[in-house]
Amino acid sequence: MQPTQHNIAPEVLRAWMVKYICGVLGLDAATFSTSDRFDVYGLDSVEAVIMAGVMEEEFQVLVDPNQFFEYPSVDEFVNAFTSQASVG
């Protein structure tokens, strides 16, 4: 899957991911660390794939779920995803 052009600001995507993950896992966003790996919080591959789909709907972009496994924290993913936007 090719990255899609978008102009999502990193802080917007980061905030959305924190809200989404904390909502799914029932976590307090105040104690959530964006540098921790997803699996530290129990976010598994099924939920990562679902999150990719929800993100697509929310931001109208294509998201390859494999990116969540390649960049397995909010910070890593946000950095990778938003830097791709400038490519092409």
Partner 1 sequence: MTPQVSLIVISYEMKRELPRTLLSLSPRYQNCAAEDCEIIVVDNNSRERPDAASFAGLNANLQVLSCSQPSQSPARAINEGLVRARASLIGVWIDGARMASPGLIKTCLAASRLHERPVVATLNYQLGPNLQRISCEQGYNQATEDGLLDSIDWPKDGYRLFEISTPEMKGGPTGAMLESNALFLPRPLWEELGGYDEQFSEPGGSVVNPDTLIRAVALPGVQLIRVVGEGTFHQVHGGMSTSSQKSAINVVMEGNRTYMRLRGKPLTQVRQHGWIFDSRTGEVIR
Binding of partner 1 at residue 70 (CB under 8 A)? no
User: Residue 85 burial by CB count (10 A; 0-12/13-18/19+): exposed, middle or buried?
Assistant: middle
Q: Which is nearer to partner 1, 3 or 7 (CB)?
A: 3
Q: How many residues bind partner 1 (CB under 8 A)?
A: 17
In angstroms and rounded to an integer, the radius of gyration of the C-alpha atoms of the chain is 12
Q: From residue 23 to residue 62, what is the string marking binding to partner 1 with x (rule CB under 8 A)?
A: -xxx---------------x-xxxx-xxxxxx--x-----
Crossing angle between the packed helical segments 74-84 and 10-25, to the nearest 10 degrees: 140
Residues binding partner 1 (CB under 8 A):
24-26, 42, 44-47, 49-54, 57, 65-66
